[in-house]
Chain A
Amino acid sequence: MWQYILKRLLGAIPTLLVLITISFFLIRVAPGGPFDTEKSLPPEIQANLEKKYHLDEPLYQQYLRYLGNILRGDFGPSFQYKDFTVTELIAKGFPVSLTLGGLALLLAVIIGVSLGTVAAVRQNSWVDYALMSTAMTGISIPNFVVAPLLILFFAIYLNWLPAGGWNGGHWLYLILPVLALSLRYIAYIARLMRGSMIEVLRSDYIRTARAKGLSMPKVVLKHALKPALMPVVSYLGPAAAGIITGSVVIEKIFGVPGLGRYFVQGALNRDYTLVMGVVVFIGVLIVVFNLIVDILYAVLDPKIRLQGKG
């Protein structure tokens, strides 16, 4: 098991290196620089600033320096938030994003799996049709449309919930962003779950379970649920990546002080180190999450032996 984890983490190094390299050069290709302002700075100050942040060095040297710093765990200073290092900014934003994303993912799995199971058990009934057409709609609408609609309805017309803000993570402030972020994943997981549950319910071992004298709810909850969850689990990797990137938009719309906000602002201000820091951090996060998903998969399906378990 540990051998497998180690192997997977080592295997992620080339992926991360490619990620770092591409984003490092891409953001520098973008026109403008971190110290371009409305009023242009005097050339000597500009030169001093660039010298301080090593921006006067040739690009390859900057790249190697950056790699060296990352190896030491140093993401560098932020160009924009001059009093903070990138590491500090991430440490500040991450707990917020984690709360938002984690809750969204949890909600997506719980509701998606339940709805999918109900639709599968009541296959081809009006319940099934209603759930699945709603789900189809949910998948088709992008979150930057859903979010304003939710705000319009629940915050402005009904005035039940705050339209934005974080307020230290008060639960009332969580509801709308979490919902907006998770809706399409709920829909997708429900469809996935329905399909796999229908297939499992048709299988021979479900017939065996019925022949044992188990009641239908027991057959579904005990014998069918676990095998039917497999496709959902393997979707969790991409879903988590989607939720992380999706939260960039959602955080902006709801004014949530998470990583996403830094990411967007950093990109707009050409805050090279901040953008890079967030990119690398998210990259590592996705790698780790995919690893967790694969381990979870092996726990659910005894047929899967993690390679290198020895």
Chain B
Amino acid sequence: MRSTPKTGNAMTDPLLSIRDLTVQFQTQDETITAVNHVSFDIPKGKTVGLVGESGSGKSVTSLAIMGLIPQPPGRITSGELLFKGEDLLKKSESEMRKIRGDRISMIFQEPMTSLNPVFRIGSQIAEVLMLHRGMRKKEAWEKAEYLLDQVGIPDPKKKIRAYPHELSGGQKQRVMIAMAIACEPELLICDEPTTALDVTIQKQVLDLMLDLQDKYHMGMLFITHDLGVIADLADDVVVMYRSNIVETGPVDTIFTNAKHPYTKGLIACRPLLEGNPRRLLTVADYMDEAGNEKIVPAERFEPMVKEDKSGNPVLLEVKNLKTWFPVKGGFFGTTKDHIKAVDDVSLTVHKGETLGLVGESGCGKTTLGRTILRLQSATDGEVIYDGTSIMDLSGEALRAMRSRMQIIFQDPYSSLNPRMTIGDILTEPMAIHGIGDNKKDRYARAQELMRKVDLKPEQLSRHPHEFSGGQRQRICIARALAVEPEFIICDESVSALDVSVQAQVLNLLLDLQEEMGLTYIFISHDLSVVNFISDRVGVMYQGRLLELDTAEEIYKNPKTDYTRNLLAAIPKGIPKSLLQQRRNTL
């Protein structure tokens, strides 16, 4: 919690005052209103959290402030953006250029792609200083080195000459921050700056931003789809839903006394470590399609009780599994060393159980999943599925085994072939594995699958691009179910989704498990999600399985420092007072 007093209405002299902003985009067929008569203030030295799901108009709002809306197709049809009393919309492009990067700067979501890959990071930071401060190259590089130190890059003297690909994701985002604060801006806009990062890195970056804000007294606009992230950070919260602002207020009030059903849904949909209902509440529980509030039935709050499934028969046994990748070098390309992606991992999964695997990027959890499915060949060890060792299976036997084990990937955008209809996507694996008597029968099965994942059977003739991210992930789930598997590996399957959509997909996975007796391995970097869905949880670090226990035990009594650190880094999500309140209702 911040030490500064929360001032929701001290707007006497706002740094930026957005008045009645409307932004429209012209497509071939229609005019889309992306931002609809939006008004709010960003006070000096304060942080405003702008919350909403993808497509709610929050990023467009920020781009409008920067004057970076592509026109055409974009058009600002009404409103004022009063920056210290001056309307940014009335400024010419050359006047805006002087403001951008100097008085108002911005940090973007994707640190991986937001830095120019062919220039050294030093030159990318120095460029801003040379442009706005008229510094000479040498002076600008010195300042850049100082800034890198300020944002916590180790050994800035050396790192300043690095190219972006030589840095980790967290370091790249620090470089972005250094670039954004180089000219000590009055307003800093952060568009989902930590969404692509691991929890521990997210915490470090958020802490850094708080420090910098205190130091430079910047106003901050913090955009996110996840209310949990800004609970510790923002003074005020603005909630956007379908291009409109539905609620604004000081952060505490929003969490404890949300008025709008959408806000209530957003707060409730995030799984908590401290306990959850049987199925996560979603926005749809609080609000109907038309936007009217619904009364949430009491049984929806019934707490999740996890049965002990350790008595069930063992479905999968992994014994001393190793997946090493050779590092080649030298004149003859001999193997010099190995990257031990999976190093001596043993575990068992029981029928009907969900085993969660958590860990940071690069810990080997994805490789482990792929090795179990034989999408990646193992260096050593054994995988026994339902009594059969699958390491030496080939041909027909391997194919038969493949239909029993499926995987759902992280990115619902790139894992569906854009040129195939959903019907083809769902019936293709059936045809491969000889499920269904003929085309007609397979199509009927596909329709049934669509119903199972809460999509309309009529939509089978459509193509992937006509669906939202959440819907696409449902299609991926349906595709995995098409071959009637018993065992599914979910590899970061909800990580790319907004929290509200994530809750729906998690609920769906639980429903399907109950209905069809599925067994899951659920891989994720998000500990609260893993805690919610898993019966047992394994923590991975540098290719090794550090500990494996029931979800409750891992979260209440972590045995290793690494797990304790991971747990401490999770954003608290909601203020403690509310937590207490929610626990009482459970």
Contacts and interface: CB of A to CB of B under 8 A. Distances in A.
B162 to A, nearest CB: 9
Nearest to A210: B68
Nearest to B180: A211
B100 interface: yes
Contact of B108 (A208, A213, A215, A301): A208
Interface string B525-567: 0000000000000000000000000000000000000000000
Interface stretch (A147-155, A191-199, A302-310): A302-310
Interface stretch (B125-133, B407-415, B432-440, B476-484): B125-133
B115 interface: yes
Contact of A205 (B68, B100, B117): B117
Contact of A211 (B66, B119, B163): B66
**Residue of A7, A212, A227 with highest tally of chain B CB at under 10 A:** A212
A212 B128 contact: yes
* A-B interface, 10 closest residue pairs, ranked by CB to CB distance from nearest: A213-B101, A212-B101, A213-B100, A204-B113, A302-B163, A205-B116, A204-B114, A213-B97, A211-B106, A226-B118
Contacts of B117: 205, 227, 301-303
A207 B68 contact: yes
Interface size grouping (class) on chain B: 20 to 34
Interface residues of A, number: 24
Given A213-B99, A213-B102, A302-B165, A208 B118 contact: no
Given A203-B113, A223-B116, A303-B117, A212 B68 contact: no
Interface string B82-99: 000000000000100111
23 contacts: A3-B331, A204-B114, A205-B113, A207-B114, A208-B114, A208-B116, A208-B176, A210-B68, A212-B127, A212-B128, A213-B100, A213-B101, A215-B97, A223-B116, A227-B118, A301-B117, A302-B118, A302-B163, A307-B333, A308-B331, A308-B333, A310-B329, A310-B330
B176 A213 contact: no
B116 A209 contact: yes
B116 A227 contact: yes
B327 to A, nearest CB: 13
A296 B66 CA distance: 37
Interface string A26-60: 00000000000000000000000000000000000
B118 A301 contact: yes
Interface in B45-75: 66, 68
Contacts of A308: 330-331, 333
A300 interface: yes
Nearest to A309: B329
Contact of A214 (B66, B131, B176): B131
Contacts of B128: 212-213
Contacts of A212: 100-101, 105, 127-128, 131, 179
Contacts of B486: none
B331 A214 contact: no
Interface string B159-179: 000010100000000001001
A223 B123 CA distance: 11
**Residue of A211, A302, A303, A307 with highest tally of chain B CB at under 10 A:** A211
B344 interface: no
Interface in B159-214: 163, 165, 176, 179
B480 to A, nearest CB: 31
Given A204-B114, A308-B331, A310-B329, A211 B68 contact: yes
B110 interface: yes
Secondary structure at the A interface, as helix, strand, loop or mixed, is helix
Contacts of B331: 3, 7, 308, 310
Interface in A267-309: 300-303, 307-308
A68 to B, nearest CB: 29
A211 B101 contact: yes
Contacts of A209: 116
B55 to A, nearest CB: 18
Interface in B437-496: none
Given A204-B114, A212-B101, A308-B333, 17 more contacts: A3-B331, A204-B110, A208-B108, A208-B114, A208-B179, A209-B116, A211-B66, A211-B100, A211-B106, A211-B108, A212-B131, A212-B179, A213-B128, A214-B127, A301-B118, A303-B163, A310-B330
A67 to B, nearest CB: 27
Contacts of B105: 211-212
Interface in A218-245: 223, 226-227
Nearest to A209: B116
Contact of A213 (B98, B110, B114, B329): B98
B120 to A, nearest CB: 8
A229 B146 CA distance: 33
Interface in A53-103: none
Given A208-B176, A310-B329, A310-B330, A214 B97 contact: yes
Interface in B229-272: none
A203 B117 CA distance: 11
Nearest to A214: B131
Interface string A1-15: 001000100000000
A213 B68 CA distance: 10
Interface string B288-322: 00000000000000000000000000000000000
A58 B486 CA distance: 71
Contacts of A302: 117-118, 163, 165
A295 to B, nearest CB: 16
A211 B99 CA distance: 9
Contacts of B132: 213
Contact of B165 (A204, A207, A215, A303): A303
Contacts of A303: 117, 163, 165
Contacts of A226: 118-119
Contacts of A211: 66, 68, 100-101, 105-106, 108
Contacts of B99: 213
A215 B93 CA distance: 9
A213 B117 CA distance: 19
A214 B108 CA distance: 17
A204 B109 CA distance: 9
A213 B113 contact: no
Contacts of B333: 307-308
Nearest to B176: A208
A215 B113 CA distance: 20
Contacts of A203: 113
